[in-house]
């Protein structure tokens, strides 16, 4: 489906056509402070400047007292207004930028406001879109879970008995969630050398990536209550981002038993800067992977198309700034999930856990079934097995990430509806 035409020039291959309209936080070199914004092609609409100049005057469903949300330095206040308001604003912006806009006086014929609020994207810097108070990472990518289980156990016991009964997850570290482009330091930690019974301390030698989708919440629920599936849980979703759950496999393996991920995961998680709303992804709903287990009632979904078919890819760039060489090492659909985000939310709150606006949920690594659909180096190189090195441009190989390597995730649901980039460079060992 072709995106609607705009009076503003939008490149045909842009992730940010009028069919999308995601939200983020920017800083412009020509203005002070952080401010909400929307990317449109190669421009961004500064929502603070747009709002201050009366840009939302014709949006009658948006009360004046709500305009203060665009003065905020995060999207939390806007997100808290709820999905209906988000979608009303999104559709209004689509109209304002439409070639046949019903409000040409707002922006199309207003050169003064264009100059103040419509900024070249390259003159702005992306910031973390929300204040993330809590972060939970799930393990909903069935193929990744099975592949990893086969590496550490055997195919018959690859998945734990509970895996198809509930969305498995762990609580991550919100303070180390960073926006795309932020350098990632190689972590140090305790590592058990092969054949040894005693750990050593040192930098991770098995630094990895994990290709995930992230979901940001727009709803809070009081402690002792839950967000129900087929209603509350869906309405709790503000939007989606790409996510790289950077992982240290050698630190993780030593510490993993008995309580799961800790220092092997908490040193950095990268998300893409623009939050893509559910309304933009609605046309790309598909069925998730089949789960033959009879689920308990609170996890039973009324509809089947509860995940999205987003084309995800991983590029690995090596060689530094002087001689960069990029290889696309994976392409996979985000539909390779056993659990949907509404199911994750329903399960997360089932025991009375309070969620908050801005909370981040990760899908877990998304992998397909073929060799070029794997979402981690762990799977691609079979845990660093000899002879299973990843082949890169220029006859280079990798088992794990080296300092200077750059991992870039991209995602596109359809024509003009994408996520931009989720990228990070490994810059060397963390200070100790």
Q: How far, in Å, are 103, 140, 391 from residue 381 at the CA level? A: 55, 21, 10
Domain coordinates in residue numbering, the chain: 24-127, 135-429
Say whether 137 counts as a known binding-site residue: yes
Q: Give the residue-averaged pLDDT of 64-88.
A: 97
What is the pLDDT averaged over residues 329-357?
98
The pLDDT of residue 432: 67
Q: Which of 215-224, 293-302, 387-396, 397-406 comes out lowest in average pLDDT?
A: 387-396
Tell me the mean pLDDT in the region 139-143. Answer: 97
pLDDT at position 376: 98
> How would residue 88 be classed by pLDDT, with cut points 50, 70 and 90?
very high
Work out the mean pLDDT of the chain and round it to a whole number: 96
Q: Look at residue 342 and tell me whether its pLDDT is greater than 70.
A: yes
For the chain, give the percent of residues with pLDDT over 90. 92
In tens, the pLDDT along 159-168 reads: 999 999 999 9
For residues 227-238, give the mean pLDDT: 97
Give the Cα separation of 251 and 241 in Å (integer).
Answer: 27
Name the residue among 280, 277, 411, 272 with its Cα closest to residue 3.
Answer: 280
pLDDT tens sequence across 168-189: 999 999 999 999 999 999 999 9
What is the per-residue pLDDT for 320?
Answer: 85
Give the pLDDT score at 147: 96
Residue 245 is labelled as binding a ligand: yes
Residues in contact with 111: Cβ distance below 8 Å, sequence separation at least 6, in sequence order = none
Is-catalytic flag, 144?
yes
Question: In CATH, what is the architecture of 24-127?
Answer: Roll (2.30)
d(CA 39, CA 119): 9
* pLDDT for residue 346: 98
For the entire predicted model, the pTM comes to 0.97
pLDDT band at 29 (very low <50, low <70, confident <90, very high): confident
Q: Determine if residue 388 is labeled as part of a ligand binding site.
A: no
Residue 90: is its pLDDT beyond 70? Answer: yes
Which pLDDT does position 429 carry in this prediction?
Answer: 86
Percent with pLDDT over 70 in the chain: 100
Residues 6+ apart with CB under 8 A from 240: 213, 214, 215, 216, 275, 276, 278, 281, 308, 419
Has residue 22 got a pLDDT over 70?
Answer: yes
Please compute the mean of the pLDDT values over residues 51-76 and round it to a whole number: 96
134 is in an annotated binding site: no
- For the segment 283-305, the average pLDDT, to the nearest whole number, is 97
Of residues 86, 144, 347, 348, which has the active-site annotation?
Answer: 144
Q: What pLDDT shows up at residue 25?
A: 98
Instruction: Return the pLDDT at 30.
Output: 72
Q: What is the pLDDT of residue 228?
A: 97
The pLDDT of residue 428 is 86
Closest CA to 366 of 298, 312, 425, 416: 312
Query: Residue 311 pLDDT more than 80?
Result: yes
Annotated binding residue at 139? Answer: yes
- Residue 269 annotated in ligand binding: yes
Tokens 């264009």 correspond to 114
Question: Would the pLDDT of 301 be above 80?
Answer: yes
Residue 205 annotated as lining a ligand binding site: no
Name the CATH code of domain 135-429 (choices 3.40.50.300, 3.90.850.10, 3.30.1340.30, 3.30.300.30).
Answer: 3.90.850.10
């Amino acid at each position: 489906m072709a995106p609607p035409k705009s009076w503003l020039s939008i490149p045909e291959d842009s992730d940010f056509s009028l069919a999308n309209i995601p939200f983020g936080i920017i800083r412009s070199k020509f203005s002070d402070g952080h401010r909400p914004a929307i990317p449109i092609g190669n421009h961004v609409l500064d929502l603070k400047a747009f709002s201050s100049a009366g840009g939302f005057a014709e949006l009658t469903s948006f009360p004046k007292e709500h305009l203060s949300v665009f003065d905020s330095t995060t999207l939390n206040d806007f997100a808290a207004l709820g999905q209906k308001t988000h979608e009303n604003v999104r559709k209004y912006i689509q109209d304002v930028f439409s070639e046949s806009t019903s409000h040409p006086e707002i922006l199309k014929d207003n050169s003064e406001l264009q100059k103040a609020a419509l900024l070249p994207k390259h003159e702005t810097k992306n910031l973390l879109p929300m204040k993330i108070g809590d972060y939970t990472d799930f393990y909903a990518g069935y193929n990744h879970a099975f592949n990893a289980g086969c590496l550490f156990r055997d195919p018959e016991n690859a998945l734990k008995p509970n895996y198809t009964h509930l969305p498995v997850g762990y609580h991550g570290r919100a303070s180390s969630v960073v926006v795309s482009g932020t350098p990632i330091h190689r972590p140090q930690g305790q590592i058990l050398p092969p054949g040894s019974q005693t750990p050593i301390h040192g930098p991770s030698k098995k630094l990895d990536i994990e290709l995930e989708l992230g979901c940001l919440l727009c709803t809070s629920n009081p402690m002792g209550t839950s967000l129900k599936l087929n209603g509350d849980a869906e309405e709790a979703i503000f939007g989606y981002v790409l996510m790289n759950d950077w992982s240290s496999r050698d630190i993780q393996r030593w510490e993993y038993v008995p309580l799961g991920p800790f220092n092997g995961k908490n040193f950095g998680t990268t998300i893409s800067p623009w939050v893509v709303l559910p309304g933009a992804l609605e046309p790309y709903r598909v069925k998730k992977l089949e789960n033959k287990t009879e689920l308990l009632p609170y996890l039973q979904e009324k509809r089947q198309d509860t995940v999205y078919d987003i084309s995800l890819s991983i590029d690995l760039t090596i060689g530094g700034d002087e001689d960069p060489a990029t290889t696309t090492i994976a392409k996979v659909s985000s539909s390779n999930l056993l659990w949907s985000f509404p199911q994750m939310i329903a399960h997360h709150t089932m025991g009375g856990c309070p969620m908050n606006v801005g909370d981040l949920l990760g899908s877990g690594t998304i992998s397909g079934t073929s060799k070029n659909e794997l979402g981690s180096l762990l799977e691609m190189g079979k845990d660093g097995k000899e002879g299973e090195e990843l082949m890169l441009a220029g006859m280079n190989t990798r088992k794990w990430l080296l300092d200077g390597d750059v991992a870039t995730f991209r995602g596109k649901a359809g024509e003009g509806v994408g996520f931009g980039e989720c990228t990070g460079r490994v810059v060397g060992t963390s200070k100790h």
